[in-house]
Amino acid sequence: MNLHRVAAIAYKEWREVVRDRLFTIMAFGIPVITLLVLGYGVSLDVERIPFAVLDQDRSELSRDYLHRFIDSRYFDFKGEVSDERALEALLSDSRIRFAIVIPPRFGQRLREGRPVAVQSLVDGVFTYRAQVSKGYVAAINGDFNRRLLLDHLARKRGLSRQRGETMVEPVQLEVRYLYNQAIRSRWSMSSGLIMLVLMFSPPFLTALGVVREKENGSIYNIYASTVSRGEFILGKLLPYVAISAINVMVLWWLVILVFGAPFKGILLFYLPASLVFVVCTTGIGLLVSLLVRTQAAAALLTIVITFIPAMLFSGLLVPIESMNPEARFEAHLFPAIYYLQAVWGVFLKGLGWKGLWQPVAALVAYAAVIWFMGLMLFHKRPGR
């Protein structure tokens, strides 16, 4: 390994990248834009669900009940209608996603101490949103019912508030959220997106950079010279690793500054772990570039094998736990899952080497295999 030659190649590559304006914009722009757009855009904190109401009772109690929805930040009140057909029309036109129908004699029955069935209609198209709405309704109902019950017990049996509560709900589940007390999806999402960005942007740039050299024939300078395969690969990829290393810092800073996520761990873990990951994904780019011949094919193939798995099979959006066994197996074939564990660990859990050496070790092994394959597949005297 002759370091002078490695340096010569790396320096040339760096120069080219920096001079090519479109490429520079892509190298530093795409990561930042992806983080910002997805960080703001992919949010699963469902709020202000548009809804309408059909109140066939119009009693004080029904209004009291409805106001629990109207005043909630989870719902966005769009008005009252006078018959059920109007609700149907609003739902099918997607003007509302949710509706409540309060039957006649709602207040009267409750005051008499009898249960009342209230209809809630949910637009089930987007299953996640429907489930979340259902959860909100259950929570509001539960709260309302408890108050009704306590009032009832106090009135009918003269039980104290505390006594009544024990009687109604002997077991309580107290939930404590660790690492993300307010359960903000923005914290999870923005830090998790570092993984997504570093999963697809380094291989993307690398594949384009290497294929460009193949496409226009300057690769023959390398073929025809005395540079060894290892020297070429190392020199060629160093600038891309460097670009991504800069991005590792930029992303870290943005996640903390723009999305307000906490960084509980230490940089001395985050930086080396991220570097390993970047080396790993850069290697994926190298493999892609050795398999294809045009920049277009390189871009497409990279997206298919990096972006989609990182989005769907990493645990970022869809919990690994929710996957069927095949999908779960597929997920473990990509390095994304290991790095996501490390990123969330260091950002939100404040873990370091002791807690997270395992995923990092997996990434190191992954990188070694990928780079070795790249070295084996690259030939200076190809058959065509």
Partner 1 sequence: MTWLQRLFTMTVKELKQLSRDPILLVVIAYFFTADIYIAASGIHMDLRQASLAVLDHDHSESSRELIHRFQPPWFELKGELSDTHQARRMLDAGEVLAVIDIPEHFQRDLERGRQVSVQMQVDASNSVLGTLVTTYATQIASRFSQEKAQELHGRLKLETLPAVLDRHRVWYNPNQNDTWFMSISELLTVITMLSLMLPAAAAVREKERGTIEQLVVSPLTPAQILLPKVLSMGLVVLAGTAVSLFLMIVPAFGVPIKGSIPLFFAVTALYVFATAGLGLFIATLSRTLGQVVMLVILVMMPILLLSGAWTPPEAMPEFLRRAMVLSPLSYFIEMAYGILLKGAGVKLLWDSILGLALLGSLLFGFGVWRFRRQFG
Partner 2 sequence: METDATTVIRLRGFEKRYRRQVAVRGVDLEVRSGEIYGLIGPDGAGKSSLMKAVAGVLAHDGGRVEVFGITVDSEAAAERIKGRIGFMPQGLGLNLYPELSVEENIDFFARLREVPAAELARRKAKLLAMTRLAPFRDRPMKHLSGGMKQKLGLVCTLIHEPELVILDEPTTGVDPVSRRDFWAILAEMLRERGITTLVSTAYLDEADRFHRLSLLYEGTVLATGEPDQLRAHAGGDDTDLEQVFVSLLRDQGVAEEVTASVPSTTTPGNEAAIEARELTRDFGHFRAVDRVSFRVRRGEIFGLLGANGAGKTTVIKMLTGILPPTSGSGQVAGADMGHAGHRIKRRIGYMSQAFSLYRDLSVMENLRLFAGIYGVPRRQRKARLRQLIDTTGLAGNERRLAGDLPMGIRQRLALACALVHRPRVLFLDEPTSGVDPLGRRRFWNILLRMAREEGVAILITTHYMSEAEQCDLLALMHAGRIIADASPTELKARLERDAGKLLELDCDRPLVALETLEAAGYRGVSLFGRKLHLLSRRPERAREKIEILLRSKGVRLLALRPRPPTLEDVFIYRILEQEAAS
> What does the alpha-carbon distance between residue 357 and residue 353 come to, in Å, rounded to a whole number?
5
Residue 110's CB: how many other CB atoms inside 10 A? 21
- Residues 164-183 binding partner 1 (CB under 8 A) are 165-181, 183
Please say whether the beta carbons of 211 and 292 come within 8 A: yes
Asked if 116 interacts with partner 1 (CB under 8 A), we say yes
Residues 6+ apart with CB under 8 A from 288: 203, 206, 207, 298, 301, 302, 305
Among 8, 130, 245, 375, the residue binding partner 1 under the rule CB under 8 A is 130
Binding to partner 1 (CB under 8 A) within 39-98 occurs at 40-50, 65, 76, 89, 91-94, 97
The answer to the question of residue 1 lying near partner 2 (CB under 8 A) is: no
Q: What single-letter amino acid sits at 233?
A: I
CA 167 to chain centre: 42
**Contact characters 225-254, partner 2, x per CB under 8 A:** xxxx--------------------------
Asked if 2 touches partner 2 (CB under 8 A), the answer is yes
Taking every pair of Cα atoms in the chain, the longest distance, rounded to a whole number of angstroms, is 97
CA separation, residue 39 to residues 20, 76, 203, 255, 269 (Å): 28, 24, 21, 9, 23
Residue 43: which of 316, 304, 251 has the closest Cα?
Answer: 316
Q: 377: which 2 tokens?
A: 């597949």
Q: Is 7 near partner 2 (CB under 8 A)?
A: yes
Q: How far is the CB of 377 from partner 2 (least distance, A)?
A: 13
Considering only residues 144-183, where is the footprint of partner 2 by CB under 8 A? Answer: none
- 218 makes contact, choosing from partner 2, partner 1, none, with CB < 5 to 8 Å by partner type, with partner 2
Residue 223: which of partner 2, partner 1, none does it interact with, CB under 5 to 8 A by kind?
partner 2
Cβ 202 to partner 2, closest distance in Å?
A: 20
Between residue 277 and residue 306, which ones bind partner 1 under the rule CB under 8 A?
294-300, 303
Query: Which residue's CB is nearer to partner 2, number 17 or number 196?
Result: 17
- Indicate whether 14 belongs to the interface with partner 1 (CB under 8 A): no
Question: Contact 231/382 with Cβ under 8 angstroms?
Answer: no
On the CB side of 159, CA atoms within 13 Å amount to: 15
3-state secondary structure of 247: helix
Q: Which residues, numbered 352-381, are part of the site for partner 2 (CB under 8 A)?
A: 379-381
Identity of the residue, 173 or 257, whose beta carbon is nearer to partner 1 in the bound complex: 173
Tell me which stretch binds partner 2 (CB under 8 A): 9-17, 94-102, 117-125, 314-322: 9-17
Give the residue, chosen from 152, 230, 258, 353, that forms a contact with partner 1 under the rule CB under 8 A. 152
